Amino acid sequence: MQRTSVEGVWLSTPEVRTDNRGTFHEAFRQDTFAESVGHPLRLAQANVSVSRRGALRGIHFAAVPPGQAKFVSCLNGAILDVAVDLRVGSPTFGRYTAHELSARNHHSLYLAEGMGHAFLALTDEATVMYLCSARYTPHKEHAVDPFDPVLGIAWPRHPTPVLSPRDSEAPSLTELASGNMLPSYESCARR
């Protein structure tokens, strides 16, 4: 696993073995994960979504506590996966990193607690699985406007991105910060 430009986000590029039957790779391994990141991933829930081309999911984050770390993989098709540092006081607050995850490249992205997560489906059908450190708790879940100009995310052009009502009406980073809705870097670092 390698660090990205945003603190708390790591890219996993597994070794893929190929033979006449197809391919094999270790998608996740606790010991190598913990060695790279510095702590194990507490697995509480695994989610799978299937999205059509142009579907934009997020930017989502969970309040801390409990927070929710994620290990994201694309099992079919391809996505542009985006992690945004939403931790007030972090040296990389407000910055994002974007990586293509696909069934072809086998990459995964790890996001620590306090990160915002979003992805855009780049193929007709994209199946995404994410391992989560905490279970889904609806009243602790929040969203940030994925088109917030303050974040300046360079989304690939798509005629009409498909968003949920929640995501299309999500507040800006500035609105969330002024309402004290964002996690603090300090509270996430203690976890």
* Cα first-last separation, the chain: 20
Q: Is 93's pLDDT higher than 90?
A: yes
Q: Is 1's pLDDT higher than 70?
A: yes
Q: Is 189's pLDDT higher than 80?
A: no
pLDDT confidence bin for 190, thresholds 50/70/90:
low
Q: How many CA atoms lie within 13 A of 99 on its CB side?
A: 26
pLDDT for 184:
93
Q: What are phi and psi of 56, to 5 degrees?
A: -115, 115
pTM of the shown model: 0.94
Return d(Cα 27, Cα 46) in angstroms, integer.
Answer: 14
Q: Which two tokens stand for residue 136?
A: 């889904």
pLDDT for 187:
86
Return d(Cα 32, Cα 25) in angstroms, integer.
Answer: 14
pLDDT for 159:
78
36-85 residue pLDDT tens: 999 999 999 999 999 999 999 999 999 988 899 999 999 999 999 999 99
pLDDT confidence bin for 191, thresholds 50/70/90:
low
| Token pair 């890219």: residue | 11
Give the residue numbers annotated as catalytic, written as ranges.
60, 130
Give Cβ neighbours of residue 21 (< 8 Å, ≥ 6 apart): none
CATH class of 2-189: mainly beta
Mean pLDDT to the nearest integer, 18-25: 94
Q: Which of 161, 166, 131 minimizes the C-alpha distance to 59?
A: 166
107-122 residue pLDDT tens: 999 999 999 999 999 9
122-177 residue pLDDT tens: 999 999 999 999 999 998 999 999 999 999 999 998 778 999 999 999 999 999 99
Q: What are phi and psi of 188, to 5 degrees?
A: -75, -35
pLDDT for 114:
94
